[in-house]
Amino acid sequence: TMKNKFSLWVVIVGAALFMSASTDDAFETSKQLEVFTAVLKQVQTSYVEDVGAEQAVGAAIKGMLKELDPYTVYYPEDQIEDVRLLQTGEYGGIGCIIQKIEKDIYISELNQMGPAKKAGIQVGDILKKVDDTKIEDFSISEVSSLLKGTPDSEVSVVVERAGTAQSFVFNRANIKTKAVPFYGMRSDGIGYLYLDGFTASAASEVRDALLELKKEKRLIREFFIILEWLDQKGTEKLKD
């Protein structure tokens, strides 16, 4: 109603005025949290669509951190395995890389020792369902969150293969990935080193790879190195 819309605007404008005068003391912080709670309640009461507390608070936290710098980010509980992957190169999942092509999400790569490979899932399979959730129109990150989980937890997956639906039930596992999955020496004396991510072991893996490359070119004092790093956030591929 118009009355509700007007009151919503009043609360939001009032919150903006209060926050413009913020200080670092505990009293001011407490006051601003009260303002935020009042705005949240008014939005949940008056907005034309339902707004869940988790959705609203998550958006508020992300908005706050965005004002700081591009590197301070918020990961909710359902993305904890993504954080573990970034920090350690390990995560709980099914051991594959998924890729979105048009509207379908495909299995593009498989960890040879991962549970998905052992269960019979193949490269080229199209994901259709994870547990009880149909993934039609899901983003690749949403599907990734469904596939990841605590190691040894059960997951059911339905894929389409050659036009036929096939179901698989198996347990997730602790998947370990290498920060430097490949390195080698070209015939022209240029070394190539692929860095997949800045995990805790990245520095030692780069060092070990460089030492191995030096052994291959031990008769030459100097050689060029090509270091390639692919930022996975900028692609439509995700490890799961």
Average pLDDT over residues 26-45: 84
Cβ neighbourhood burial of 24 (10 Å; 0-12, 13-18, 19+): exposed
Q: How many CA atoms lie within 13 A of 124 on its CB side?
A: 5
Average pLDDT over residues 4-16: 44
pLDDT tens, residue by residue, 81-119 = 666 666 666 778 899 889 988 889 999 989 888 999 999
**What length is written for the chain?**
240
Residue 180 pLDDT exceeds 70: yes
Beta carbons of 157 and 167 less than 8 angstroms apart: yes
Average pLDDT over residues 155-183: 90
> Hey, what are 204's tokens?
């030692």
